[in-house]
Amino acid sequence: AWGKGVNPINERVTDIKDSLAFLESYKANKGNVTLGKQVVVVGGGDVAMDCARAAKRVPGVEEVTIVYRRNIASMPAEKEEIEMAMADGVKFKELLAPVSYFNKHLTCEVMELGDKDARGRCSVTGSCNMISLAADAVIGATGARVQKEFLKDIELDERGNAKITADNETSVPGVFIAGDCKTGASTIVKAVADGKTVAK
């Protein structure tokens, strides 16, 4: 029960293509979609890698660049996914935070690494220096939101996730949670494992 992806720049900017909508369109049209020559994907997770690799295969696309506000070492995507994107010729531009997209140019603020947090990830702060990237299309892949309205009758924990038993059953008898809706974005492998737990 995922909603649309989170717009990485501004909720009012409609020119940013939603990652999940792009992937659905790409699959439905067997890759025959229109993106232009230069494509920028914003994000550092597995969905961003999927979008970049798919965009690279779209007819007419010459260059695909992934823009991420942290460094590559901090990307949440699986290492293998990053390596496959690189092998496909996807370019990576780290420490860039998108600010605006207008007239086929994505303006980004150059970020600077700071101290590490409790999870070991370096904080980032804006440098106030801006750069512009040519982009016929920008795909936002910074994450997606769980559609919480589906959980309105289910008891939630302090983090807003559904309270579940060891068998993934919620406070509503016969209603189970599996996959990303359980604790947030994760892998297909974990979602399948949840499905097996629920089935048993």
**pTM for the structure as a whole:** 0.72
pLDDT value for 97: 94
Specify the pLDDT at position 124.
Answer: 86
| Confidence (pLDDT) at 115 | 81
Mean pLDDT in runs of 10 for the chain (200 residues)?
Answer: 48 71 95 96 94 97 96 92 97 95 94 79 86 96 71 81 88 88 74 89
- pLDDT for position 186: 66
Structure confidence at residue 12 (pLDDT): 43
Phi, psi of 116 (to 5 degrees): -80, 145
pLDDT of residue 71: 92
